[in-house]
Amino acid sequence: MDDDEDKFFLVFVQDCFDPPLAIVRAETAGDAVDIFLDELPWGRMDSEDIDEDKNVSWSSQGHAYDGERINVQEVRLCAVYF
């Protein structure tokens, strides 16, 4: 938590009214998406969902995802309560 170079990003898949949210610490929004897809299966596409008609992007680890549905917003950590 002492490193000032990383930022916090809110990452989620816009596919429903109340999607699960993740806070990811990364240097860039692109890195946050890669971490999100590597650690959590929420944003990944199943192999049967992949076809030529859909907009398919690939993470650095080879996970397929719909790049139009992944939403990333930088957020600021204001306080941590225990």
* pLDDT-derived band at 6, boundaries 50, 70, 90: confident
Query: What are the sequence ranges of the domains in the chain?
Result: 7-75
Q: For position 67, what pLDDT does the model report?
A: 75
Indicate the helix (H) or strand (E) that contains 37: helix 29-39
Full-prediction pTM beyond 0.85?
no
Token pair for residue 5?
């170079």
| Mean pLDDT (whole number) for 10-17 | 86
Cβ-based neighbours of 50, under 8 Å, separated by 6 or more = 56, 64
**Residues 21-78: tens digit of each pLDDT:** 999 999 999 899 989 988 888 877 766 666 665 677 777 777 777 777 889 999 987 8
SS3 57: strand
